[in-house]
Amino acid sequence: MSDAKIIKMDMGNLTGGTAGAVRPTLCLGIESSCDETSAAIVDSNRNILAHIIYSQIPEHQKYGGVVPELAARAHILAIDEVVKQTLAKAGKEFSDVDVIAATAGPGLIGGVLVGWMAATGMAQAAGKPLVAVNHLEGHALVPRLCATVASGAIGDANVEFPYLLMLASGGHCQILLVRGVGNYELIGQTLDDSAGEAFDKVAKMLGLGYPGGPIVDARAKNGNPRAFQFPRPLCDKPGCDFSFSGIKTAARTFLGRVTQPLSDEYINDFCASFQASVVDCIINRLGNAVRDSRVMAAAPRTLVVAGGVAKNSAIRSAMESLAERHNMVFAAPPMNLCTDNGAMIAWAGLENYRIGRVVDSPIAPRPRWPLTEL
Ligand SMILES: Nc1ncnc2c1ncn2[C@@H]1O[C@H](COP(=O)(O)OP(=O)(O)OP(=O)(O)O)[C@@H](O)[C@H]1O
Ligand SMILES: [Mg+2]
C-alpha cells in the first residue's frame, strides 16, 4: 500500500473502573470459533496490551482443512493457558479487567462453546460484565481499532461510520454498509462459496497445503495472470452478489486435462490466473456497490477490507485503486488482525460495552448468526 500509515483513533470518553476514574476500560477478548484459540487485552484508548494466538493449523494440516471435533478438543486444552499467558503478558491481574467479551457465534459450535463457557464462567465468578460478540462483527469493527490507511484523493481519514466493507473470510463473502455498531446493511453476498473457501479448495487441488490463501497469494506473485482463462461469474450482471463455485469448477476442469506432474511454472501461472479472476469479481461487485442507491445515500468516505482474505496482496492493491477512482480512502487492518484473533473480539466487546450491549441473562451460542440479525 503506497504512502501507508497506521492510524489509531481516539475513542472519546470510554473510561473504566470506578466512577470518576480516568483510566481506560480494559477488555479481555476470547476467540475460539474456528482453528485459533486466542485472547487479548485491549483498552478503550486502542492499545493492545497483550495478544496471544494459538493456531491449531498444524493439527488440521494433514486433513487438508479444519476437523471440528479436533478443533473443539484443542480449544479445551489451550483456553486456560492462553488466557493466563495473555494476562501475564499484559502485566495485569484478572481483577484489573473491566469487561469480558467472547465470540458467541457464528462458527464451529464446539469451539464457540469452549470460549463462550470460559468467558461466562469468569464473568459470573468475578461479577464482571460480559459481551457476546458476533465473530463477523469482530472482523467488521477491527479496522476501527487499528488500520493501515492509504493516502487517497481526499487525504487520510479515520475509519469512521459509515463505511463500505468488503468482508472476505473463510466462511463469508459479503459487501456491507457499516452504519454503526450492530447496524449493518447487506449490499451483496456470495450465492455459494466464500472467497477464502475458493482459495483453500484450489490450493488443495494443486496439492499446496492448508490454509491455501497465503500459499496461492505467494505463488501468484511469480505467475502470469493471463495464462489460464478463468471465468468471472456474475460480472456481466447487475448487482453486488458473488459466485465462486464456477471458478472452482474451472480449476478442476483445467487440472483434469493435465497428465504430467505439475511444474512450478504451471502452479505459479495457475495461482496468478485464479487469483486474478477472484480480484476481478471483487472489484466488479464493489464497483456496483459504490453506485448502489443505499450506499450513495449514506456516502461512506472509506472503503474497508476485513477478514482473512483481506491479507491478500492483489485484493488490497486493487481495492486501493478502486477507492482512489471513487474518491474514497482505502483502509485495511494490519495482517495479524485479518485472520481470527482475540484482539478483534476484545475491541468489538468494547464498542458494544460502550453502548450498553452486555449479556444480562444466559444466551445460547449460535453456529449461524448473520450480522443483519444483530
Ligand atoms: N493472503 C491470503 N490470500 C487469500 N486468502 C487468504 C490469505 N491469507 C489468509 N487467507 C484465507 O483466509 C481464510 C481464513 O480467514 P478467517 O480466519 O477470517 O476465516 P474463518 O474465521 O474461518 O471464517 P469466518 O470469519 O467467515 O467465520 C482462509 O480461507 C485463508 O485461506
Ligand atoms: Mg473469521
CA 236 from chain centre, in angstroms, equals 28
* pLDDT at residue 38 greater than cutoff 60: yes
Could you tell me if the CB of 16 is within 6 A of ligand 1?
no
First to last CA, the chain: 33
**Domains of the chain (ranges, CATH numbers):** 5-142+336-373 (3.30.420.40), 159-332 (3.30.420.40)
Task: Give 273-290 pLDDT, tens digit per residue.
Answer: 999 999 999 999 999 999
Distance 106 CA to ligand 2 centre (A): 9
Distance 171 CA to ligand 1 centre (A): 8
d(CA 217, CA 237): 27
Region 319-347 average pLDDT: 96
Could you tell me if the CB of 170 is within 6 A of ligand 1?
yes
Task: Assign 363 to helix, strand or coil.
Answer: coil
**Overall size of the chain counted in residues:** 374
Region 330-356 average pLDDT: 97
Q: How large a percentage of the chain has pLDDT more than 90?
A: 87
Could you tell me if the CB of 111 is within 6 A of ligand 1?
no
Q: How large a percentage of the chain has pLDDT more than 70?
A: 92
Looking at the CA of residue 211, tell me the nearest atom of ligand 1: 31
Task: Assign 328 to helix, strand or coil.
Answer: coil
Q: Which of 309, 311, 335 to mutate to test the pocket of ligand 1 (most atoms within 8 A of CB)?
A: 309
Could you tell me if the CB of 105 is within 6 A of ligand 1?
no
Determine which residue's CA is closest to atom 30 belonging to ligand 1. Answer: 213
Task: Give 184-234 pLDDT, tens digit per residue.
Answer: 999 999 999 999 999 999 999 999 998 999 999 999 999 999 999 999 999
Task: Give 47-105 pLDDT, tens digit per residue.
Answer: 999 999 999 988 888 888 899 999 999 999 999 999 999 999 999 999 999 999 999 99
Q: Which of 32, 34, 60, 368 to mutate to test the pocket of ligand 1 (most atoms within 8 A of CB)?
A: 34
Res 151: pLDDT:
57
Res 160: pLDDT:
94
Task: Give 122-161 pLDDT, tens digit per residue.
Answer: 999 999 999 999 999 999 999 999 997 775 444 444 799 9
List all residues 6 or more positions away from 265 whose beta carbon is below 8 Å from its beta carbon.
223
Enumerate the β-bridge partners of residue 48. Answer: 42
Could you tell me if the CB of 196 is within 6 A of ligand 1?
yes
Distance 238 CA to ligand 2 centre (A): 28
Distance 226 CA to ligand 2 centre (A): 31
Could you tell me if the CB of 182 is within 6 A of ligand 1?
no
Q: Is 96 exposed, middle or buried (0-12, 13-18, 19+ CB in 10 A)?
A: middle
d(CA 33, CA 70): 13
The secondary element (H helix, E strand) that includes residue 165 is strand 163-168
Res 13: pLDDT:
40
Could you tell me if the CB of 320 is within 6 A of ligand 1?
no
Distance 21 CA to ligand 2 centre (A): 35
Concatenating the DSSP letter of every residue in 265-288 gives: HHHHHHHHHHHHHHHHHHHHHHHH
Distance 169 CA to ligand 2 centre (A): 6
Distance 308 CA to ligand 1 centre (A): 3
d(CA 278, CA 206): 17
Cell of 96: 484489573
Neighbours of 37 (CB within 10 A): 30
Residue 199 sits at φ, ψ, to 5 deg, of -60, -45
Cell of 366: 449460535
Distance 258 CA to ligand 2 centre (A): 34
Could you tell me if the CB of 172 is within 6 A of ligand 1?
yes
Q: What is the mean pLDDT of the chain?
A: 92
Please tell me the number of the ligand nearest to residue 106's CA: 1
Cell of 287: 464497483
List all residues 6 or more positions away from 270 whose beta carbon is below 8 Å from its beta carbon.
206, 223, 227, 228, 251, 254, 262
Could you tell me if the CB of 162 is within 6 A of ligand 1?
no
d(CA 7, CA 17): 26
